[in-house]
Amino acid sequence: MGLKEEVRRRRTFAIISHPDAGKTTLTEKLLLFGGAIHVAGAVKSNKIKKTATSDFMEIERQRGISVATSVMGFEYGGVKINILDTPGHEDFAEDTYRTLTAVDSVIIVIDGAKGVETQTRKLMNVCRMRKTPVMVFVNKLDRPCRDPFDLLDEIETELQIAVRPLAFPVSSGPSFKGVYNIYDGSFSVFTSGDRQTASETIKLGLDSPELDEYVKPYGEKLRDDLVLVEGVYEPFDRERYLAGELAPVFFGSAINNFGVKELLETFIEIAPSPRQSTTQTRTVDPLEEKMTGFVFKIHANMDPNHRDRLAFLKICSGVFERNKNYLHVRSGKQMKFSSPNAFMAEKKSVVDFAYPGDIVGLHDTGNFKIGDTFTEGEQLKFTGIPSFSPELFRYIENADPQKFKQLAKGIDQLMDEGVAQLFTSRLNGRKIIGTVGALQFEVIQYRLEHEYNALCRYEPIQIYKACWIESDNAAQLEDFMKRKHTNMAVDKHGRNVYLADTSYALQLAQEKFPDIRFYFTSEF
């Protein structure tokens, strides 16, 4: 197969939602239908001993939440699918935002009882900014849910996007009968059978006499609802979906494997193959001959036995080949990779070739950072991979003097993942950790202890905001740093950071020093 055919048959997407909407469960069931796994795990279940494939970190298994994005690839119906399961918890939103730079479309999971929640709105704003095509899966229909039309109205209003149902449910909770697939004109009967393996659903046409038997006493209501759907919503327009203006909506119950196959089959038909990527100088087309790609995530200790670090490289154009030299643009060095990996969460296999849309794991000894670009010689820098200014700060101290080296190495590697940021105070040399969410501190402490055998403790510090500073006026910059020397720090890359203790102090600094630029994301 040529490059064009390989690009056309790829679908790279992220699954996003508020915590507990069923995102990881849906990922698990997509893998099941794709034949990538034979028995689905559960996120939290006493009966099912297998944990979810995408929640492979120990802390994820214990808490029943995702704390890091995991990548899984499989083939289905001649199409190569790359799924990125993202954390839903807002404390890990930064990982999710960066992941959205590496995908071509998104599936948003919404809990049918709770509707649209806070985190879903925030993530939708990121999709809207990037004009990413969005598909909605209303989950948990096996439990009592809100009226489908109310949900559709709420999705339209809250997410500020036109919707078009491509499926419609018959009731919910104990009386849930099934879902009518408007896209292919068939009714799937709900049977709450085996949750862990893929079973076939019974499909019936709208005119089938058996249908009334199955959906009793909702037959008439289903037909009226479908007439209403056709009357209220405009026909599905794929061009509007691809432009990020229209969201097709599906209904189902991921835990019962219901509605997942229909979602998957429609998805591979209408979702976009790899799209163009933006760099500072030009737009990169996936069909270009030469390889380009960027690192959007770094994960330390994918395998705790080997202490390995992996950089996740999204291929944007051309063909990535094993053992071929590529230019690491930031350092100007040529590098080749003898064992690039394809992913199935923490399971890895070596790949010889990767195409646009694929995610490749590169073994990293500390050379890479998030946002790094690889090319065949061209000087490019991909844009839109932010690192946000932290909102919570703590001093980090060594709790076991004999483990000084382990702690230093652990902090160094975990900070490279971009989950938190490390600042060193210019006043006293103490290390300060900044995060966007309180749960990050627990995760760092847990991972330092269990992955690096290092103990740490935190001490409070009063900081309102960290901002990076830059100026063309050297005298003013020097004056500022002298006056604010108690609030100055350097980040991991040696850049000057001003740690403002109050919003008033920050405002005053911006007014008094007009030639200094204050940045609140580290992408400048």
Overall average pLDDT of the 44-57 stretch: 42
Q: How confident is the model at residue 32 (pLDDT cuts 50, 70, 90)?
A: confident
E strand residue ranges, 346-409: 347-350, 353-354, 359-363, 373-375, 392-398
Range picked from 27-31, 128-132, 168-172, 468-472 for highest mean pLDDT: 468-472
Say how far apart CA 49 and CA 45 lie, in whole Å.
7
CB atoms closer than 10 angstroms to residue 245: 15
Instruction: Look at residue 53 and tell me whether its pLDDT is greater than 60.
Output: no
Q: What is the pLDDT of residues 449-490, one digit of tens each?
A: 888 889 999 999 999 989 899 999 999 999 999 999 999 999
Question: Which residues make Cβ contacts (< 8 Å) with residue 421, sequence separation at least 6?
Answer: 387, 390, 415, 433, 434, 435, 466, 491, 492, 522
Q: What is the mean pLDDT of residues 46-64?
A: 45
In this structure, are residues 513 and 378 in contact, taking their beta carbons and an 8 Å threshold?
no
Q: What is the pLDDT of residue 84?
A: 81
Per-state percent for the chain, helix, strand, coil, to nearest 5: 30, 30, 40
pLDDT at 57 over 70: no
The Cβ of residue 77 has, within 10 Å, a number of other Cβ atoms equal to: 11
Instruction: Tell which wins on pLDDT, 452 or 158.
Output: 158
Which are the contacts of 160, defined by CB distance < 8 A and separation ≥ 6? 124, 128
H helix count then E strand count, the chain: 14, 31
What is the per-residue DSSP string for 212-256? HHHHTT-HHHHHHHHHHHHHHSPPP-HHHHHTTSEEEEEE-BGGG
Q: Kindly list the distances between the CA atom of residue 263 and the CA atoms of 141, 157, 183, 226, 257, in Å, as whole numbers in the listed order.
A: 15, 23, 10, 19, 11
Please give the pLDDT value at position 42: 40
Query: What was the pLDDT predicted at 211?
Result: 77
pTM metric for this prediction: 0.78
Q: How far apart are CA 226 and CA 180, in angstroms?
A: 9
CB 414 within 8 A of CB 444: yes
- pLDDT value, residue 89: 45
**Across 99-103, 133-137, 385-389, least confident range:** 385-389
Q: Is the pLDDT of residue 151 over 90?
A: yes
Among 78-82, 296-300, 387-391, the least confident range: 387-391
DSSP state of 185: T
pLDDT(68) > 50: no
Residues 120, 127: contact at Cβ < 8 Å? no
Residue-level pLDDT at 460: 92
- Residue located via tokens 């209220």: 232
Structural domains of the chain in order of their starting residue, each with its CATH number = 9-70+93-273 (3.40.50.300), 278-375 (3.40.50.300), 392-519 (3.30.70.3280)
Length of the chain measured in residues: 524
**Predicted local confidence at residue 384, as pLDDT:** 65
pLDDT tens readout for residues 332-346: 999 999 988 876 544
pLDDT surpasses 80 at 36: no
For the ranges 85-89, 127-131, 218-222, 286-290, which has the lowest average pLDDT? 85-89
Query: Which 3 state secondary structure label does DSSP give 83?
Result: strand
Q: Which DSSP helix (H) or strand (E) runs through 249?
A: strand 246-251
pLDDT at 305: 59
